[in-house]
Each structure stands twice: as structure tokens, then as C-alpha cells.
Chain A
Amino acid sequence: MIFTPAVLRSEWTKVRSVSSTMWTLASALLVTVALSAGLCALTNAQFDNLSQQDRLTFDAAGTSFSGMFLGQLAVIVFGVLVVAGEYSSGMIRTSLAAVPQRAAFLFSKLAVATALAFVVGMVTSFASFFLGQALLGSHRTGIGEPGVLRAVFGAGLYMTLIALFSMGVAAMLRSPLLSLGILMPFFFLISTILAAVPVAKDVARYFPDQAGQKIMQVVPSSDGSAYGPWGGLGIMCAWVAVALLGGYLVMSRRDA
């Protein structure tokens, strides 16, 4: 009952008719693929200089997604602008006057934007993988190897969930600047830094991005972890669910 074709169509028109959709998603794809390809080429060239340990735990599939740490920032911008752009422009009042059922409005919008992020995420992950493997030369892996298809598919899912999480946060905060000001440093700096600090590591591994990234790894990291790839994705999904619930509650409780 929440989704009606009419509202979904309307949200599709909205998302395709602003240029930010195009440039955020295109940047996500290009940045991820190009950076991953560069890192793969570099790894291939420098492979013999790697430590014994690094060579043993080398993850050919995971390396071909290494550009995603930067590319995900564009996905965050996409998610934030889709939702918070309604508030910053004032469009939200026009939108809610047309669709006063808050759940129908919010979840239709999220569904359309998430579907788009899913398609772009999958194209990005498959392109990153195949280009990356081609550049890894003799160190490459194949899509048929155990766990590899899961990792490639998972990388696309990861991007989709990052978008959805950003949309939930933006629905809670209602301001593009505030949302970006919190999400960008968190995913780009704080989470990554904390994950490298010995004590904070145990907490940081439950952060949405740290947990979600497990799905892209084929060779498990050496520091024995508390959950597997799907467990990690589950933790990320829980974060997303909380963000969405929060976003919905804010939208339905507060004045537009």
C-alpha cells in the first residue's frame, strides 16, 4: 500500500530532472573504477616489494574495489541531495501538499533513489573488478573462484546501502550541509582512522562502513574478526534500518 505507481513515477521524474543526480552518480562510478584500476596497476608493479605477510594475504578481488573508499563519498552526496535537497529548496512543502502521506512520500523517494544507486553500484563494482583484474596481471583472480562473485555483487550492495544510509541520515537532519558535514568526515576519516587504532578497533569494526566492507573481501583479514561477510552486511543493514526509522520519525513528527 505504501508504494503507488503514481508516487514512484513522480519521484523518478524528480530524481532524473536535477543535474546533481547525474554528476554524483557518474563521479561515484568514475572515481571508484579509475582509482581501483590505478591501485591494481600499482600493486602489480610493486608486488615483489611487498612483505611476505602481505603477499600471503593478498586479496586480488578486494584490491580491485580499493577505489571505493573515495567513490563512496560521491554516493553519500547523491543520497544527501536527494532527500535534504527537498528541504533546502523548500520543495518539501510542495511535495507534501501533493503527497501528504509521509510514509508513502519518503519511502517512494528512497525506493527510486536506491534502485538507481543499486544499478550504478553494480555497474561500478563489475567494471572495477574486471578492469582491476586485467591490470593485476599474473596476480589476478577469476569471477568463478570461491567467494569472488559474492564479493563483486557485495561491492555493488555496499554502495547501495551507503546511499540508503545517507538518505536516512539526511531525512533526520534535513540540511544538506549538516548531513554532509557529518557523513563525509565520518566515512572518509574518523571510521578509517579509528579502525587502525588498536583499542578503538574493536568498536570501529561495528561501524556501518567497516562492517559492510567485509563483503568485498575474499581473503579474510589476519586479525580474526567477529563476523563473516554476510554478518558484516547484516550489521550494515541494521545501521541503515535505524537511520531510515529515524528519518521517518522525524519526517512524520516535525512540521515541514
Chain B
Amino acid sequence: MIELEGLTKRFGDKLAVDRLTFTVRPGVVTGFLGPNGAGKSTTMRMMLDLDHPTGGEVRIDGRRYARLKEPLKYIGALLDAKAVHGGRSAYNHLLCLAQSNRIPRSRVDEVLDVVGLSAVARQRTKGFSLGMGQRLGIAAALLGDPEILMFDEPVNGLDPEGIHWIRHLMKRLAAEGRTVFVSSHLMSEMALTAGHLVVIGQGRLLADTSMSDFIGQNSRSFVRVRTPEPERLRDVLSAVGVSPQVAADGSFEVADMEAAKLGELAAQHHVTLHELSPQQASLEEAFMRMTAESVEYHAHSTAGLADAPGDREGAAAPRGLEEGGDGGVAGGREDGRVGDRVGDRVGDREGGREGVPVWGADWSAKRRKGSAR
């Protein structure tokens, strides 16, 4: 079990990890999610006492890491596959680690076998491919047969077979009752392996929930409606207080009405429908929506350095910034969508906070652009 309490790390004036409090429990793979730069690696380094926290603490089975006498027997970690001396052979690399924690030499051969590196064990690690390096890092993590395992983006650089192997390994380790903590910035990857999720953005805890709860709460559902008479349908919907969003292909996305009711409504007003289909947004989308909040918070706080409350120019600044950036991202998209995007749904979601929703809007725009492909 790993317990974090108010863990904080500041690099100069950058707050990389901001008062993180959560517990990683045994018997389940815990996914540690966040976009690039969210603070995942920094958090993991602090868990191993490599970086000193600015505040708060981490306890491994109730103790501070530095107090563990032979830590590799409690917790094995793969932080960075390149954290080896290239001039040393794989065997000697593992041997020196084993010796420092009084792990028998025979275990070195065992883990080399587990990760499939026995044949190259006597070669210098300098010549290893990314995947071989990753496997060596995993071998080092397994060396002390620890109850807690920690992997920082373990699938990075692995081929499909390697990815499959690692997923299987993590699940097996968790099934054996071990604590498995694995970071990623891909929700889809975690959906396949993790039973529990910890999501951070800009160093702050965004969610600490079971995978199934996360799916239940965060997957957005809507109904896709396609019609040759968009103007009429829009009028019909506004009459009942529903404002549809227009997707890139011209179809409507209606979030607050069931498909059956929508169909009845269209029939009543004799609007022809070409498509009427309930949709479930992917987990990746849910994750991006969640982390977008932290991204937009960040953008707002930097752009608004001179942003006194109520200062109109300050509030307008991020919006202008966004529109400049938006053109670059969106490229040749039709005009109608931009207004729609900033106007309707984001405004709804954010309860109309001025200036703030802009980056969120940008994220959701990218998301929808992606799903339209």
C-alpha cells in the first residue's frame, strides 16, 4: 500500500505537484493518468525518495521510503528505462542491484528469463533497443519479488507484442494480491488494465475512483440526428428549450433528450430524419474533458497574470489568444462551428464563467474534430 498525504513539489516558481492525497491499494492495478507535464513522473520520483517533496509525505506500508532497509523487497519501480550505465552488461546491472539488497544471485537469472533477456544478458546495455531497455527496467523492478510495483509509462516504445505482454504482467501481478501503480497519458490503455484510476492535471488530483465509476460518471451520451432540414429541426428543438450542437459533418448532437422523444418530436412536426442514433462518448474523451479543466485553469492563470477581477481587457485576452491558436489547429473547418462551439455547450458546462472556458472549448473542439474523422 502506498499512501500520499498532501504531497507537494515546487520547481522554482512552478508547482509541479500540488497537495496530492490518495492511497494506492493492493490487489488491483491503479492507473495514474494525466496529460504531459501533469506531474506523474515527479510524483513517482518522490514516492521513491529520489526527489524531496516541498511538502507532505509518502508512506510505503506505513513507512517512509528512506526507512526501508532493503527497499527492493518492498517496492520495485521502473521509472526510466534509460536509468542504467550503458557500459555495464544487463547481468551485472541486475547483479549489483541484487547484491545491494541481499537478493540471491539466482534471482538475477530468473528475472532475466521472465522478461526474455537471457540471451543478451552478457551484452552491454548501450546497444539495447528501447524495448529491451524497458524489459531490463521491468526485470529490475521484479528483482526483489516486491509486494508493490510501480511503472512509469511502461508501454512507451514497446511493440504490440510487448504491450500485450506488459498488460498481462500487470494484471497477473495485481491478481496475486500485489499493489500495482502504473502511469500513462492514454486513457484507452488504462481502460484495458486498470481497475482503479487516479487522474491528475497540473499537479492536482482530479479524480480518485474505480474504473467502473469513472466510466459511469464521465462517459457523455448524446443522440446524433441527421436531417435534410436543419433549420426547421433547430427551430423545433429551440421551441422545447433544447439547443443542439452542430458536428463537423453537419449532423446535430443532442445531449439533453432521449432518442425516442426526439423521433416523436420530429414526427409531430413532419421533419424528415436521415439518422437518429444514441452515441456514447469514449473514455478518452471523458479523460480529455476532465483534464481540460486543469489545462484551461493553467492557461487562465498565466494569461491572466495582470487580470484583475472584473478587468474586461484581461478577461478578453485568453479568448483572443484562443482564436489565434484555433485557426492553426482547425485548419479548413467551416465557420459555423466556431461560434457554435464557444457559444453553446461550453458555456453551459462552465456555467458561463467569463474567459475561463476558452481552453476547454479548444480541447473539446479537438476532441470532436478527432471523433469526426
A interface residues (Cβ-Cβ under 8 A, vs B): 6-7, 9-11, 13-14, 17-20, 85-86, 89-101, 253, 255-256
Top 9 closest pairs, chain A to chain B, by CB: A10-B100, A17-B92, A10-B99, A90-B83, A13-B96, A255-B51, A256-B50, A89-B85, A18-B87
User: Which residue in chain B gives the minimum CB-CB distance to A256?
Assistant: B50
If the complex has contacts A94-B97, A97-B71, A98-B101, are A13 and B92 also in contact, measured as CB distance less than 8 A? yes
Kindly identify which residue among B52, B72, B85, B101 contacts A18, using a CB–CB cutoff of 8 Å.
B85
Chain A residues within an 8 Å CB radius of B65: 100
Chain A residues within an 8 Å CB radius of B87: 18-20
Query: Which residues B60-83 have CB closer than 8 A to chain A?
Result: 65-66, 68, 70-72, 77, 79-80, 82-83
Q: Bound state CA distance, A62 and B187, in angstroms?
A: 70
Q: Bound state CA distance, A11 and B95, in angstroms?
A: 10
Q: Bound state CA distance, A98 and B70, in angstroms?
A: 7
**Chain B min CB distance to A90 (Å):** 4
Known: A6-B101, A14-B96, A97-B77. 14 other contacts (CB 8 A): A6-B102, A13-B99, A14-B88, A17-B96, A20-B87, A89-B82, A89-B86, A90-B84, A93-B50, A94-B84, A97-B50, A97-B79, A255-B52, A256-B50
Query: Which residues B96-144 have CB closer than 8 A to chain A?
Result: 96-97, 99-102, 140
Q: Bound state CA distance, A178 and B90, in angstroms?
A: 28
B220 CB–A CB distance under 8 Å: no
**Chain B min CB distance to A105 (Å):** 9
B45 CB–A CB distance under 8 Å: yes
Chain A residues within an 8 Å CB radius of B342: none
B48 CB–A CB distance under 8 Å: yes
Would you call B100 and A99 a contact (CB within 8 A)?
Answer: yes
Would you call B50 and A10 a contact (CB within 8 A)?
Answer: no
User: Can you list 16 pairs linking A and B with CB atoms under 8 Å apart?
Assistant: A6-B100, A9-B99, A9-B100, A10-B96, A17-B89, A17-B95, A93-B45, A96-B50, A97-B48, A97-B72, A97-B79, A98-B97, A98-B100, A100-B71, A255-B50, A255-B52
B49 CB–A CB distance under 8 Å: yes
Q: Bound state CA distance, A70 and B90, in angstroms?
A: 35
Chain B residues within an 8 Å CB radius of A10: 96-97, 99-100
Would you call A91 and B95 a contact (CB within 8 A)?
Answer: no
Chain A residues within an 8 Å CB radius of B86: 89
**Chain A min CB distance to B97 (Å):** 5
**Chain A min CB distance to B76 (Å):** 9
Q: Bound state CA distance, A9 and B97, in angstroms?
A: 10
Q: Bound state CA distance, A92 and B79, in angstroms?
A: 12
Chain A residues within an 8 Å CB radius of B50: 93, 96-97, 255-256
**Chain A min CB distance to B82 (Å):** 5
Q: Bound state CA distance, A233 and B226, in angstroms?
A: 90
